[in-house]
Amino acid sequence: MVGEMNNEISNITTLQKGDLVKGKVLKIEDKQAIIDIGYKYDGILPIGEVTNVYVENIQDVIQIGDELELKVLRVNDEEEKLILSKKAIDQEKAWDILEKRKENNEVFEVKVAEIVKGGLIADVGVRGFIPSSLIENHYIDDFSDYKGKTLRVKIVELDRQKNRVILSQKDVLQEEKEKEKNTLFSQLQVGEVKDGIVRRITDFGVFVDIGGIDGLVHISEISWDRVEKPSDVLKEGQQVKVKIVRLDPETKRISLSIKETEPNPWKKAISTLKVDEIYLGTVKRLTNFGAFVEVMPNVEGLVHISQISHRHIGTPGEVLEVGQQVKVKILDIDRENQRISLSIKEAEEKETKAEEIPPEYEKKDTGFSVTLGDVIGDKLKDLK
């Protein structure tokens, strides 16, 4: 194309539609510019042929004295009428550049020229469209203040025949965020304690920002107490301390724990609680298979339904209710899995047996005692 164009403004004897020429801006009028291309009469560059986007004032784009590469759209020597286009030249050059940028997945800057329904228009030699869904990472309701802004974009769709160019800033932002996430992820270590901010609360846990990257605190890792709903104990924007408990290099998922930053009540329980001993506890939860009883602060054990009552029951709720205090016997302590097996039934049996053992009968005035065997022996003698 450049080879077909005049290298400098010089005398031209003949012109045809489609010829490529160079010209100098002589004069700027309201909606057009007068151009000297070295022909026997000057050409006209209409405002609509200056650029691919709408401009209110032609002087916003070109100035007197500017040298331009132009294409002949129409020529009539009898009427001395010569219509030129800068836009047509820019488009041809632009397509070559855009195709290379698309091939190289290049990120480049554009300036927003227009706000239209459904998105933005940027002049990239041709009209480039940025849909509203591809402007930012988040939803934008009003993007009227984007006019004149410079955005970093990449081409997501390019069709020369349909004159279609779709650009995206969102793709650029997401790729940069992913790159930053990978960098931050590589610096994390399991066991590390971080300050974080609760960003989002769900039914299954909370997502916490630990410095540009989010991790999940599962509902089971929020507190040593049982948590029914994360929103009951945490709020968005709340600052928390979290411990990194797992890192998945493939998915880049981060598992966090709030409760691991606090003392584990099990450590005290292991050193205090003993198998076969009886403790007073509080019923915390009832399930179809049993009842969970708190025997120490934040330490619960399970009373299986078969260990609740001596008589057959269909559900624990027939004989127990949440908040009720009960005596339980510890059947087993699983230190590795932090589980305690309890029994109400055996606690009752143990207490009953203790009550059945008769006390010593003491004769304090004589200084000796009489046992149950002595009493029975005396009775037998009387019968003889």
Residue-wise DSSP of 200-261: EE-SSEEEEESSSSEEEEEGGGS-SS--S-GGGT--TT-EEEEEEEEEETTTTEEEEESGGG
Tell me what pLDDT residue 336 has. 85
- Domain-embedded: residue 380: no
What residues are paired with 80 via a beta bridge? none
Share of the chain above pLDDT 90, in %: 67
Total-model pTM: 0.55
158 vs 227: CA distance, rounded Å = 52
Looking at the fold, whether 230 and 274 belong to one and the same domain comes out as: no
The pLDDT tens digits of the residues spanning 165-194 come to 999 999 999 999 999 999 999 999 999 999
Q: What mean pLDDT comes out for the span 240-244? A: 97
- 73 vs 376: which has the higher pLDDT: 73
- Domain-embedded: residue 181: no
Looking at the fold, whether 145 and 98 belong to one and the same domain comes out as: yes
Sign of CA dihedral 291, 295, 301, 305: negative
Looking at the fold, whether 252 and 271 belong to one and the same domain comes out as: no
Q: What mean pLDDT comes out for the span 87-99? A: 90
Integer distance in angstroms from the first to the last C-alpha of the chain?
140
Final residue of a structural domain among 66, 85, 104: 85
The pLDDT tens digits of the residues spanning 348-384 come to 887 766 666 565 544 444 444 444 445 444 544 444 4
- Domain-embedded: residue 365: no
Q: For the chain, how are helix, strand and coil distributed in percent, rounded to 5?
A: 25, 40, 35
240 vs 199: CA distance, rounded Å = 11
- Domain-embedded: residue 187: no
- 336 vs 65: which has the higher pLDDT: 65
Tell me what pLDDT residue 257 has. 97
Cα 289 to the center of its chain, rounded Å = 37
Looking at the fold, whether 298 and 285 belong to one and the same domain comes out as: yes
Looking at the fold, whether 340 and 269 belong to one and the same domain comes out as: yes
- Domain-embedded: residue 372: no
Q: Which residue has the tokens 């069709």?
A: 159
- Name the least confident of 52-56, 150-154, 250-254, 375-379: 375-379
Give per-residue burial for 356-366: e unless 16+ CB within 10 Å, then b. eeeeeeeeeee
**Is the pLDDT reported for residue 56 higher than 90?**
no
Tell me what pLDDT residue 354 has. 64
Final residue of a structural domain among 53, 85, 117: 85
Looking at the fold, whether 336 and 300 belong to one and the same domain comes out as: yes
The pLDDT tens digits of the residues spanning 304-353 come to 999 999 999 999 999 999 999 999 999 999 988 889 999 999 998 877 66
The pLDDT tens digits of the residues spanning 135-166 come to 999 888 888 899 999 999 999 999 999 999 99
- 55 vs 287: which has the higher pLDDT: 287
Per-residue CA distances from 41 to 75, 122, 271 (Å): 11, 35, 104
Q: What mean pLDDT comes out for the span 21-25? A: 94
Cα 284 to the center of its chain, rounded Å = 34
Q: What mean pLDDT comes out for the span 224-237? A: 92
Looking at the fold, whether 254 and 270 belong to one and the same domain comes out as: no
Looking at the fold, whether 78 and 129 belong to one and the same domain comes out as: no
Mean pLDDT score across all residues of the chain = 87
Looking at the fold, whether 269 and 352 belong to one and the same domain comes out as: yes
Q: Which domain holds residue 236?
A: 198-261
Looking at the fold, whether 65 and 98 belong to one and the same domain comes out as: no
Tell me what pLDDT residue 357 has. 59
- CATH number at 159 reads 2.40.50.140
- Domain-embedded: residue 343: yes
Q: Which residue has the tokens 């709720």?
A: 317
- CA nearest to 157, candidates 140, 134, 183, 139: 134
Per-residue pLDDT band at 271 (split at 50, 70, 90)? confident
Final residue of a structural domain among 261, 278, 294: 261
Residue 295 tokens read as 């025997």
33 vs 66: CA distance, rounded Å = 11
- Domain-embedded: residue 16: yes
- 144 vs 1: which has the higher pLDDT: 144
Number of domains making up the chain: 4
- Domain-embedded: residue 158: yes
Tell me what pLDDT residue 370 has. 45
